[in-house]
Structure 1
Amino acid sequence: MAGNVIISILGSTLDNRGFGKKRHERWRPNVGLVMHPEFPVDELVLIYSRDFEDIANLTIQDIQEVSPQTQVSRWYFDCDDPWDFEKVYSELHDLMKQYTFDPEQYNYYAHITTGTHVAQICMYLLTEANYIPGKLLQTAPSKEGPQGSYHLIDLDLSKYDQIASRFAQEAQQGIDHLKGGIDTRNEAFNNMMEQLEKVSVRSKAPILLTGPTGAGKSRLARRIYDIKKQRGLISGDLVEVNCATLRGDNAMSALFGHVKGAFTGALSARPGLLREANNGLLFLDEIGELGLDEQAMLLRAIEDKVFMPLGADRSVSSNFQLLAGTNRNLFQRVTEGEFREDLLARINLWTYEMPSLKSRIEDLDPNIDYELQQFAYQVGHNVSFNKSARKKYLSFAHSEEASWRANFRDLNSSITRMATLASGGRITESILDEEIGRLKYDWSGHSADSSAGDVDEILRGVLTEPEINEIDVFDQAQLAKVIQVCQNSKTMAEAGRKLFNVSRTKRASNNDSHRLRVYLQKYGLEFKALNSHSGA
């Protein structure tokens, strides 16, 4: 059975109840600690100032008299100002680092009844931070005698059902808010939102949101801000900027500000977005578009919270937290010399890739309801699908014809158009057919105009430039299509069924996976590696 060790501060008043015999009749916290038969104390670590050596000697003498089995360890604590929080905490912290704890053999308790209020708070904080690996112990006088009473406080909140339930409820509310109140079904996305909620309330480090255009990075950034603001973690504003709109001196001035006369046209000083985000959140969308000079200044601002406005001769400060968004591969940008490796290392601590709508298509149904609710909120009346129209829309949305190129922006535009045209608040099949035709036309136009660029981009994501140059242009287009299908399929068998959809019906036996594997091996590729590039 593990023994008990109590760490306690000598009470210069409560433990000093005179040197006569009557002191044995009075409650003295540190003497009372060892007078409970059901709570034997193996060691009492007594912390005190040398100024109170006489009181300490008498207290230790009386402890040994009433509890001979208790070993008392003397620890000197000399602080010139017992009401200076920083000094008291530092001294106690240093003492605890010197003590050798053995949690496997002993239970440890931090006694928080004696000492100044500052010292008691410091003892609590040291225990809460696990520098004292144990529980809190509170004592008080009682009518039972000089031993008084004691109460144990376990700081493991998970053991307190009501408190644990409350924190779990708050966490779930935060997760729901990050998802916009949408009952999403994609397991990977839900797990990501669960972790992001924890990071949002526990960390002040930069957060990087990646993913394709229209996947919801900006919307998610605003929801992260809402959570931090609601929990009182920040007091400033959310400042948003699309870095693709910043160029040259305008970029420097917009981000870091400038002084009057810094350049031609600078008729007045400008604080800059970083200063506007002081004590708040700065969301730099498309951070990969920033110039290298701006990146260097941003790195210093993140690490040191100081930067130099354009034309200034002294630094200014801003205590902001950075959220960054990008649809680019920043590691590739580093390789190309377009993005600083040290900045990427700094903002890559918490990175979350927002999946495309196509890769979490099971969430389309609840997102349709969300878009309809948002439309109703804006116009003041409800709109809904009739049953057959909704079924047909979902069928089209899940088909290969639906590319959802702009992801949730495409969905938002689609629902807005249909809801606007819906007479009597009902989206009918005729409205739906017109909308499907429009979507097909838009997406086919994108494919025709940008197919060469898409092929190049897809291939560069999995092959090196020399490898691509060894492949005929004809074969490049075919390989890009195969890669795209693999990235949007959960299994190799599913990808094979899509790719060999006609020829497989004419074969006696189908081994689509084998056919696909042989094709990929021709180019040194594997399905598993390709599928990891999909962002699902």
Structure 2
Amino acid sequence: MKPLVVLGFLGSTLDASKFGPTRWNKWRPTVGLTMHEDLRVDRLVLLHGSAHTRLASYVTEDIASVSPETTVEPYLLDFKDPWDFEEVYGKLLDFARDYPFDPEAEDYLIHITTGTHVAQICLFLLTEAHYLPGRLLQTQPRRGTNDGVGTWTAIDLDLSRYDSIATRFAAASAESTSFLKSGIETRNPAFNRMIDEIEQVAGRSKAPVLLMGPTGAGKSQLARRIYELKRLKHQVKGPFVEVNCATLKGDGAMSALFGHRKGAFTGAIADRPGLLRAADTGMLFLDEIGELGLDEQAMILRAIEDKRFLPVGSDKEIASDFQLIAGTNRDLGRAVNDGQFRDDLYARLNLWTFALPGLADRREDIAPNLDYELDRFAEREGSRVTFNKEARERYLAFATAPDALWSGNFRDLAASITRMATLSATGRIDAEGVEAEITRLSRLWSNSDERDDHLARFLSPEQLDALDPFDRAQLATVVQTCVRSRSLSEAGRSLFAVSRTKRTTANDADRLRKYLARFELNWQSLQEHGSSRKKHGG
């Protein structure tokens, strides 16, 4: 059994008594809860104010005499007004965030019998919201007896009974949703509703979450914020492990995810724990999960359901208890129909699915994100840059116009702000800087086709301008196929699927390699660039 820790307030009235043998005939809640034969308290965190330090010492001595196995940990917590809800809730919230709770190693009971009614309500709210990771404990005296022990009950109260303080709970919930949005005052109603639902799911469920949306929509950032919110509420203890599944190719994918034993294959010179093992007690974010092979998908499903998996070359299973967030820019339902994604894994992931809209569908959120990106620039570079009024108005007019494509979503916006801030030597982005940036973005979006969008990221504007329209369209298709393929051979088979059937021998990889070389491109650069985009933009 895990050690049991009880946390509660010292009762300035109920816990007080005159010194002498008769005090044992009086029910004192804090002392009494350590006297139960069926409730072993290993540690008692005793909250009290400076005015009651002497009483806390007195109670601690009595606990030591009746329950020597209980360690009392006095914790000084003063309130200017113990009936001021805002002050009490705020200080208890700070305590809950700072205290080194360890739910994996200890069980917790929150004693709500002592303290003011305001303190009891606040303890309830913080427990209900998982800032205090335990159950509620209620104690009471035995009626008509001189028994100093009393009775105890672990309870689960109904929040609806406390309508008078529901607004305070709503405020805590609003704080969590703001946290998920990185403090950005987003204005898009659909997006805000989605974040509200994610906040509820994150606080109440350990089931996998699936984030869908185009590259650059913010899946990676949202996944990390979900993890940080859960960690803040003591719902996860371990690390956040992010995996870009698009970078896991061939046999190395199994080893990277599930680990391997020394000697499992050529080059396996030492044991490797694997990324799933690294995420134990924490959160695993599988970005671009649709890029995993079917074998890896099968093992991921078992790891989700059984919390166990088999490393490569091992005959002994490994346990890892992680929470999962998956991300994808693919239509997994269509991938299931095409036989490229397991239907059982999709069913397991599809319990909580959230589709993140692209920036073009959230134009009202561009203005608050300008300030956020400038803040990020200041943090990175150590210098504050702002817009002058005319420049900001001009940029927003362009950015929110219907013909602003934002094909790269928030990735494009972040890059745009970074460019303007970097080129503003005076620390003020002016109209001239905005016009230059508008020219860059307009050129980037001159062809909105997704294939051409790929081309614009691998070739310079000068290289693009030097291409005939015929070559440009053909090369765009080739580059797009290469980025989505797992190997040079796979890309070649896809591109030359018809012509290869008419030849007795085929070397599609060599044929594709020579084609790319005509445009000063190579397979490795396409893969590295594409993987970097997915890692940082997804």
TM-score by shorter chain over 0.5: yes
Contact 1:308-1:315 at 8 Å conserved across structures: yes
Tell me which residue corresponds to 1:384.
386
Does residue 275 of structure 1 match 2:272?
no
Contact 1:207-1:347 at 8 Å conserved across structures: yes
CA distance in 2, matches of 1:448, 1:330: 19
Tell me which residue corresponds to 2:466.
none
* Residue 449 of structure 1: how far off its partner (Å): 5.1
Closer/same/farther in 2, CA of residues 174 and 448 from structure 1, 3 Å limit: closer
Does residue 296 of structure 1 match 2:298?
yes
Does residue 399 of structure 1 match 2:401?
yes
* Residue 443 of structure 1: how far off its partner (Å): 1.4
Contact 2:276-2:284 at 8 Å conserved across structures: yes
Tell me which residue corresponds to 2:424.
422
Closer/same/farther in 2, CA of residues 256 and 162 from structure 1, 3 Å limit: farther
Does residue 307 of structure 1 match 2:309?
yes
Tell me which residue corresponds to 2:175.
173
* Residue 249 of structure 1: how far off its partner (Å): 1.2
Post-superposition CA distance 1:36-70 (Å, at most 9, x none): xxxxxxxxxxxxxxxxxxxxxxxxxxxxxxxxxxx
Matches within 5 A, 1:465-476: none
Matches within 5 A, 1:41-440: 138=140, 140-141=142-143, 155-160=157-162, 164-440=166-442
CA distance in 1, matches of 2:194, 2:324: 19
- Gaps of at least 5 residues in structure 2 are 1-24, 27-108, 114-126, 129-137, 456-538
Closer/same/farther in 2, CA of residues 420 and 142 from structure 1, 3 Å limit: farther
SS at match of 2:426: helix
CA distance in 2, matches of 1:316, 1:179: 36
Closer/same/farther in 2, CA of residues 140 and 437 from structure 1, 3 Å limit: same
CA distance in 1, matches of 2:240, 2:347: 24
* Residue 162 of structure 1: how far off its partner (Å): 7.2
CA distance in 1, matches of 2:156, 2:338: 54
Tell me which residue corresponds to 2:498.
none
SS at match of 2:313: coil
* Residue 265 of structure 1: how far off its partner (Å): 0.6
* Higher radius of gyration, 1 or 2: 1
* AA partner of residue 360 (structure 2): K
SS at match of 2:446: helix
Post-superposition CA distance 1:96-149 (Å, at most 9, x none): xxxxxxxxxxxxxxxxxxxxxxxx99xx9xxx99xxxxxx89555479xxxx9x
CA distance in 1, matches of 2:444, 2:396: 18
Contact 2:405-2:448 at 8 Å conserved across structures: no
Post-superposition CA distance 1:134-169 (Å, at most 9, x none): xx89555479xxxx9xxxx99223433676444323
Question: TM-score, normalised on structure 1?
Answer: 0.56
Tell me which residue corresponds to 2:452.
450
Contact 1:401-1:440 at 8 Å conserved across structures: no
Contact 2:207-2:324 at 8 Å conserved across structures: yes
* AA partner of residue 354 (structure 1): L
* Residue 452 of structure 1: how far off its partner (Å): 12
* Residue 171 of structure 1: how far off its partner (Å): 1.6
Post-superposition CA distance 1:361-394 (Å, at most 9, x none): 1111101111111111222222111111111111
SS at match of 1:355: coil
CA distance in 1, matches of 2:296, 2:440: 41
Q: Does 1 or 2 have the higher relative contact order (CA < 8 Å, sep 6+)?
A: 2
- Gaps of at least 5 residues in structure 1 are 1-25, 28-119, 130-135, 454-536
Contact 1:287-1:325 at 8 Å conserved across structures: yes
CA distance in 1, matches of 2:215, 2:362: 15
Question: TM-score, normalised on structure 2?
Answer: 0.56
Contact 1:157-1:163 at 8 Å conserved across structures: no
Q: Identity across aligned pairs (percent)?
A: 57
SS at match of 1:248: coil
Contact 2:447-2:453 at 8 Å conserved across structures: no
CA distance in 1, matches of 2:305, 2:142: 48
* Residue 358 of structure 1: how far off its partner (Å): 0.6
Closer/same/farther in 2, CA of residues 263 and 446 from structure 1, 3 Å limit: farther
CA distance in 2, matches of 1:448, 1:366: 27
CA distance in 1, matches of 2:298, 2:246: 17
* AA partner of residue 368 (structure 2): P
* AA partner of residue 392 (structure 2): R
Post-superposition CA distance 1:164-202 (Å, at most 9, x none): 444323221110011110000111111111110111111
CA distance in 1, matches of 2:164, 2:454: 59
* AA partner of residue 248 (structure 1): G
CA distance in 2, matches of 1:201, 1:364: 28
CA distance in 2, matches of 1:210, 1:445: 25
* Residue 298 of structure 1: how far off its partner (Å): 0.5
Contact 2:423-2:433 at 8 Å conserved across structures: yes
* Aligned Cα root-mean-square deviation (Å): 3.4
* Residue 447 of structure 1: how far off its partner (Å): 3.6
Closer/same/farther in 2, CA of residues 355 and 448 from structure 1, 3 Å limit: closer
Closer/same/farther in 2, CA of residues 161 and 377 from structure 1, 3 Å limit: farther
Post-superposition CA distance 1:197-251 (Å, at most 9, x none): 1111111110000000000000001100100111111110000010000012100
CA distance in 2, matches of 1:340, 1:449: 27
SS at match of 1:444: coil
* Residue 333 of structure 1: how far off its partner (Å): 0.2
SS at match of 1:254: helix
